[in-house]
Structure 1
C-alpha cells in the first residue's frame, strides 16, 4: 500500500470495486458539492507521457486535436482512432513542457493505447511512458477559490490548464465548478491534505455524475474501437479539428461529418430507480429492440440513476427503457453542432 492510499483510508476510503472508491452512501455524497466543496480521488483516470523532440509531430499524425493548440494554457480534448475511424481512446491533451505532453484518459484504455502508439514511436524521436502520478478532483461552488488558496495557482478557465511545478490543474465543465488535479504522489498528497481542511472527501462516482451532467463520456476498454468520435458528441465539445491534416482515421471521421453519416449519438437520461445499469447494458425501445448501450452511469443527489448511452438516431421520438425501467431523456448542456477547437484556444 502506498502513502496516498494509506492516507485516504484513514479518512474512511472504501474500495467498493476496481477503480470504484467511496467514503459513504452514494446519495449523501452526491449532495456534498451542491452546498459545499468536495474532493474526490479519481482512480478511473490514467496519465500518459509523450516526450521528445518529435512529440508534437508524432501526436499530430495520431490524434484528432490540432496539437499546436495545446500550448500550456489551452488543453484540448482529443481522440485516437483506428484506421476505420473508431475511437481507441479519448482524452485531454496538455503540454507540460516544451517537448513533453500529458494525456489524461480512462485507465482501462491506457495500456491498449500505449501498445498501439508504440508501433509508430520508433519512427520518431519520442518516448511514451506512464508517469507515477495521482489524480483527484475538487468540485463545488467554491472550488475555484479552494484551488487558488490551497494550490497557489490562478484557477484556469474551462478546458484550460494551470501548472505549479510538477502539479497540473485542469478545469472541466459541469453544473458546478470542478477542477482535476494531477501530481506526483508526494505533491498530490500534500495538495489533498491542504484541501481537507475546508473540503469533504467523496467517492469518484460523484465526479462521474458531473461528467454525465456535462455530457462528457470517457470510453473504457469495453467500448474501445466501437464508435466514431462524433457518436460521443466529440465534435460538439471541440474534440475534433477539421482544419488539420491527416491523422489515423481522419478520412472516415471527416466523411461522416461532411456527409452527415453519424448514425448514433450520445444520450443523457435518468432512470426512475436507484439501480445502476452496468456499462454495456442495452437500451431498448417499446418493442424490445436494442437501440444502443450504456457507457456511463451514476446516482444523483435524489438517489436516481443518471446515464449516458450511445443510441441509434431516429427522426421520430420513441420511448426507451433499460431492463424494463423507463428512460427519461435529459437535455445536454451543449448543442449538437461542430465546435472548432481553434475557436476555443486561448491563443485566439
Structure 2
C-alpha cells in the first residue's frame, strides 16, 4: 500500500475569506419548519438551538445519501440549509414533495443570503468573541451569523452568512478585513476536512457511514424516523459496515464519481470518489486531494489506483478525525 502518513503542512497558515459562489441556500419558513426537516433529515432539527448548526443528509428510502446540508435556525419560524448550488434545484424539489400539510414553505434563498468561507488564525482573531469555540457552534448578530466548521489541516474554518441586501455589512465584513482566499484553496480545504458533500455524480451512492457522516456530526441515532433510517441504523448496530471514507492524494486529475481499484482485486472497483480538489500551488505535493469511500480491506495493503487497475497510483493520507470503533 502506498501510504503517506505525513500531514504536509503548508509553509504558512492558509487564511482569509472567500465568497462561496459554489453554494446555495434553501429556506424553510413556517411554524413547523424545524419539525418538518426533523422528519426528513439524518440530524435532530426539532431540538436545534439558535447557538448551534447541524450537518445533515437527506437519504433515499434505501438509506443512500441524496443530498447533504449545513442547517441552522435563523428564527423560531425559519431554518436555512446551505448546500452545493448544483444540488439545490433537485433538493428543493425533493423536499417539497413531502411538505404536504406541514405548516412549512420551502424556497430558494440564495439571492438573499450571502455565504462566505473564513479560514485560519487571521479569521479567528478578526472574529474575536463572535468565533464559536465548538465545531457546529453558531453565533449571531443582527442579520449575520458565524458557524464553526470542522478544521482542515489543523486550521479553523468558519461559515459566515449574512443578508445579501446589507451593503454596509458587506463593506465592513470579512472580505474587507481579511486576506483574499481563492475559491480553489477553500475547496481544497473542504476536501482536507474529511466532511463529505454530496454532488450529482455521487447521489444515492453512499450510506451515511460509508463517507463518515456520523463521525463528523451528521447523524443522530436517537431521533425518530426519517427516509432510510432503518438501513442507516442497521449499518450502525449490526456490524454490516464494510466501507469507510478515506483521504488520498492523486498525482492526476480526479473527480467525484470516479472509481478506485485495488491491486488485489483488479476486476472490480474498491471504492468511489466523493469529493476532489486540485492542490493549490505551493501548499502540498502537486496533484489532487481526494476524499473517497473505500472497502476497509482495500486500505490495509496492496496498492490503490485511479480509474482502473493500471491507473495512476493513489496514496493514503491521515484523516483529521478519529473514526468510531466498529462494534
Task: Please give the TM-score of this superposition, normalised by the length of structure 1.
Answer: 0.80
> Is contact 2:58-2:227 (8 Å) kept?
yes
Query: Tell me, what secondary structure is at the counterpart of 2:46?
Result: helix
Equivalent residue, structure 1, for 2:6: none
Equivalent residue, structure 1, for 2:288: 305
Equivalent residue, structure 2, for 1:344: none
Work out whether 1:322 is the aligned partner of 2:309.
Answer: no
User: What is the aligned counterpart of 2:50 among 72, 75, 82?
Assistant: 72
Equivalent residue, structure 2, for 1:183: 162
The 5 Å alignment of 1:42-121 reads 42-121=20-99
Q: Which runs of 5+ in 2 are unaligned?
A: 1-8
Equivalent residue, structure 2, for 1:160: 137
Structure with greater helix share of residues: 1
Query: Tell me, what secondary structure is at the counterpart of 1:65?
Result: coil
Runs of 4+ more than 6 Å apart:
none
1:93-149 C-alpha deviation (Å, 9 max, x unpaired):
20110121111112222111111111111221110011122211111112112224x
Query: How many aligned positions are there?
Result: 303
Partners of 1:41 and 1:129 in 2: how far apart?
Answer: 21
Cα deviation, residue 295, structure 1: 1.8
The 5 Å alignment of 1:89-238 reads 89-131=67-109, 132=111, 133-148=113-128, 154-157=130-133, 158-174=135-151, 175-187=154-166, 190-191=169-170, 194-238=173-217
Partners of 1:231 and 1:45 in 2: how far apart?
Answer: 23
Equivalent residue, structure 1, for 2:5: none
Query: Tell me, what secondary structure is at the counterpart of 1:335?
Result: coil
> Is contact 1:107-1:220 (8 Å) kept?
no
1:53-97 C-alpha deviation (Å, 9 max, x unpaired):
111221121111111342011212111111111111111220110
Equivalent residue, structure 2, for 1:336: 323
Equivalent residue, structure 2, for 1:281: 258
Q: Which runs of 5+ in 1 are unaligned?
A: 1-29, 339-348
> Is contact 1:69-1:76 (8 Å) kept?
no
Cα 1:188–1:108 change in 2 (3 A) is: farther
Query: Tell me, what secondary structure is at the counterpart of 1:277?
Result: coil
Partners of 1:66 and 1:188 in 2: how far apart?
Answer: 34
Equivalent residue, structure 2, for 1:5: none
Partners of 1:199 and 1:142 in 2: how far apart?
Answer: 7
Query: Tell me, what secondary structure is at the counterpart of 2:43?
Result: coil
> Is contact 1:70-1:93 (8 Å) kept?
no
Equivalent residue, structure 1, for 2:4: none
Cα deviation, residue 233, structure 1: 0.4
> Is contact 1:61-1:247 (8 Å) kept?
yes
Task: Please give the TM-score of this superposition, normalised by the length of structure 2.
Answer: 0.85
> Is contact 2:122-2:178 (8 Å) kept?
no
Cα 1:146–1:188 change in 2 (3 A) is: farther
What is the alpha-carbon root mean square deviation over aligned residues? 2.3
Equivalent residue, structure 2, for 1:263: 242
Cα 1:194–1:54 change in 2 (3 A) is: closer
Partners of 2:205 and 2:192 in 1: how far apart?
Answer: 23
